[in-house]
């Protein structure tokens, strides 16, 4: 137990130390300032830029930026879907896997292009090496880079700059951030024991004399972008609980940091671009405190264990059901809060097995989407809450709402509200329809309150671009593949469209000089009010389903 607390403390310490460094570097990249990677990466960028035929130096307006996002993502979606359909005819298929069903292929392609990686399949028995690396691995880079590009465009707009060029931002996000870090990370994982091979499964004889096939594959490079890009889709069905994806304590520590470092760093990227490092630290501190609180409560409850089980055993035992004994309850709690906070979705234990408090806080992360939030988009959502806080506090004290010297008016509030309303629409409507279905179509494996959480979690995970789940749900069916695809698309592209138009509108506003009557947003008081607005809005929107799910389950258990 002490070892678990120590590793949590070290993880949080390293995050605080390195996220400002990475944040400043990412700011330099998108401000087109010199970095130490220029000599290495610039030739590769020139080949891509010159060969693409796209006008990469042209500044886009909001409509053009959004069109570029949607067009590029649609082309990627079609390309990957065709790879799935033609899988049996393509190379690197040592076990001769046939194509998945059309609805599973469609759901998987949508899931990965939206940076969600929600898996209704087991990777080692469904997709070939070519599909895993050439299709899913490809989307892991491009979907993460899309989120970063949108976040940078949003930050530019808030600070009064032109929002930029999507294709240029996409390429920079890959060549300057994701690809270099992935190369270094893959080497570290290889050294730590994660395999990287295109050979087929290994056939071995067991102690009982039977034959067993052990799946393997090009896991190391797949695993690093899975974590770094907040993708979360595992090469194997049990994800980072598999010893080939996450073999030991070192890889567990490293992979936890990988999924946290970019979303945490992007907060400092904002501070660097806006030239307001103080506000960057304040926002980081707000999210860090909530994040630490969630970890502390979840870890404490998991260590206390299940009271019914403790009663049978005659003493207190940590809740180890669904946990990897290599990591234990505390590190599973840390990972669960980190993976739902960052919208990564990878798991090193089964979230379905968490105590009700763990289900409450993992669901809360999916509902709030800002602790730390999705790859890039989570940072943008943070500033949407800041805009709403400025509006609310401005009305309370009788001041004209302003953010970064620009007025907050009707258009900004409408777009901010649309961003927040898209999430419950994508979750609650399909969930309600699911509960109305006949029992054999629902696929719910848990009764009562936990079954409610199971369904809500699936759609919340899809809408939040997370991908994790309360396992046991029979989700590889026509209903779940199509209804979850609805949540994936609405949860991803409706907020992105609103974010881009919000940033474009802010970039066109005239700068208002700061006076003694200006409401400052880089103070501890304002940041504390923002935290209250975040929690209140989240509670008002989703408290009923939390009350019917984990809260009712906890009361019933006690």
- Rounded Cα distance between 261 and 254, Å, is 10
Neighbours of 343 (CB within 10 A): 31
**Other beta carbons less than 10 A from residue 199's beta carbon:** 11
Instruction: Enter the tokens of residue 43.
Output: 């030739």
Which residues make beta-bridge pairs with 342? none
Domain ranges in the chain? Answer: 2-202+213-557
CB atoms within 10 A of CB 3: 11
**pLDDT value for 91:** 93
The token pair that represents 357 in the structure block: 């408090």
pLDDT digits (tens, 9 = 90+) for 466-493: 999 887 888 899 999 999 999 999 999 9
Question: What percentage of the chain exceeds 70 in pLDDT?
Answer: 97
Phi and psi angles of residue 288, each rounded to the nearest 5 degrees, phi first: -60, -40
| Residue ranges in the chain whose pLDDT is less than 50 | none
For residue 551, the tally of other CB atoms under 10 A from its CB is 18
Report the sign of the C-alpha dihedral through residues 169, 173, 175, 177, in that order. positive
Rounded CA separation 319/305 (Å): 4
Whether the predicted model's global pTM rises above the 0.85 cut: yes
Identify whether the C-beta of residue 121 lies closer than 8 Å to the C-beta of residue 112.
no
Q: What angle is formed at CA 163 by the lines to CA 162 and CA 168, rounded to 5 degrees?
A: 115
From the CB of residue 446, how many other CB atoms can be counted at a distance below 10 Å?
A: 16
Total residue count of the chain as it appears in this document = 558
- The region that residue 96 occupies, defined by phi over 0 for left and psi between -120 and 50 for alpha, beta otherwise, is left
Query: Which tens digit of pLDDT belongs to each residue from 381-418?
Result: 888 998 888 888 877 776 778 887 888 888 989 999 99
Note whether 301 and 357 are within 8 A (CB): yes
pLDDT computed for residue 482 by the predictor: 95
Tokens of 69: 């996002």
In whole angstroms, give the CA distance from residue 80 to residue 70: 15
Distance, in Å, from the CA atom of 544 to the CA atom of 552, rounded to the nearest integer, reads 10
Q: Using CA atoms, how far apart are residues 458 and 466, in angstroms rounded to an integer?
A: 10
Give the CA distances from residue 103 to residues 108, 140, 478, in Å, rounded to whole numbers and listed in that order.
Answer: 8, 20, 6
Alpha carbon distances (Å) from 218 to 99, 134, 200, 221:
20, 11, 10, 7
pLDDT of residue 235: 95
Q: How many other C-beta atoms are found inside a 10 Å radius of the C-beta of residue 555?
A: 11
Secondary-structure percent of the chain, ordered helix, strand, coil, rounded to 5: 70, 5, 30
Quote the CA–CA distance of 240 and 111 in Å, as a whole number.
19
CA dihedral 503, 263, 232, 244 (to 10 degrees): 160
| Token pair 């660097």 in the structure block, residue | 272
pLDDT of residue 437: 84
């Amino acid at each position: 137990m002490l070892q678990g607390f120590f590793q949590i403390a070290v993880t949080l310490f390293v995050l605080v130390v390195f996220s400002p460094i990475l944040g400043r570097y990412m700011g330099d990249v998108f401000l087109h300032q010199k970095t130490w990677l220029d000599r290495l990466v610039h030739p590769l960028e020139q080949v891509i830029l010159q060969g693409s035929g796209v006008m990469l130096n042209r500044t886009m307006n909001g409509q053009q930026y959004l069109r570029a996002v949607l067009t590029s993502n649609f082309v990627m979606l079609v390309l990957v879907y065709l790879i799935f359909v033609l899988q049996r005819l393509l190379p690197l298929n040592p076990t001769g896997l046939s194509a998945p069903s059309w609805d599973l292929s469609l759901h998987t392609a949508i899931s990965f292009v939206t940076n969600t990686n929600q898996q209704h399949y087991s990777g080692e028995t469904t997709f070939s090496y070519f599909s895993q690396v050439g299709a899913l691995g490809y989307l892991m880079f491009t979907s993460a880079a899309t989120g970063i590009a949108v976040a940078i465009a949003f930050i530019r707009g808030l600070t009064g700059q032109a929002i930029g060029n999507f294709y240029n931002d996409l390429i920079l996000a890959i060549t300057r951030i994701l690809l270099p870090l992935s190369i270094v990370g893959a080497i570290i994982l290889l050294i730590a024991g994660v395999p990287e091979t295109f050979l087929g499964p290994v056939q071995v004889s067991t102690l009982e004399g039977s034959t067993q096939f052990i799946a393997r594959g090009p896991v190391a490079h797949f695993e690093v972008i899975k974590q770094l890009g907040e993708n979360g889709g595992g090469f194997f069905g049990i994800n980072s609980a598999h010893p080939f994806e996450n073999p030991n304590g070192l890889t567990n520590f490293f992979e936890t940091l990988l999924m946290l470092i970019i979303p945490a760093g992007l907060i400092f990227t904002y501070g660097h671009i806006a030239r307001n490092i103080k506000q960057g630290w304040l926002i980081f501190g707000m999210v860090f405190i909530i994040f630490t609180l969630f970890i502390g409560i979840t870890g404490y409850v998991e260590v206390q264990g299940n009271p019914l089980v403790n009663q049978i055993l005659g003493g207190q035992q940590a809740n180890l059901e669904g946990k990897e004994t290599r990591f234990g309850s505390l590190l599973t709690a840390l990972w669960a809060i980190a993976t739902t906070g960052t919208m990564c979705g990878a798991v090193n234990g089964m979230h379905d097995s968490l105590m009700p408090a763990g289900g409450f806080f993992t669901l809360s992360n999916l509902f709030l989407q800002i602790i730390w939030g999705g790859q890039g988009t989570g940072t943008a959502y943070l500033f949407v809450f800041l805009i709403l806080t400025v509006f609310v506090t401005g009305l309370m004290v009788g001041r004209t709402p302003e953010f970064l010297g620009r007025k907050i008016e009707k258009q900004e509030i409408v777009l901010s509200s649309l961003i927040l309303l898209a999430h419950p629409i994508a979750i609650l409507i399909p969930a309600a329809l699911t509960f109305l279905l006949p029992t054999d179509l629902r696929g719910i494996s848990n009764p009562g309150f936990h079954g409610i959480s199971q369904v809500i979690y699936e759609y919340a995970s899809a809408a939040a671009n997370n991908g994790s789940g309360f396992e046991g749900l029979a989700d590889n069916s026509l209903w779940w593949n199509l209804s979850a695809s609805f949540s994936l698309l609405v949860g991803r592209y409706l907020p992105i469209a609103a974010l881009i138009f919000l940033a474009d509108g802010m970039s066109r506003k005239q700068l208002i000089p700061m006076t003694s009557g200006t409401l400052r947003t880089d103070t501890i008081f304002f940041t504390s009010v923002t935290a209250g607005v975040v929690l209140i809005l989240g509670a008002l929107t989703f408290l009923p389903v939390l009350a019917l799910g984990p809260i009712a389950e906890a009361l019933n258990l006690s």
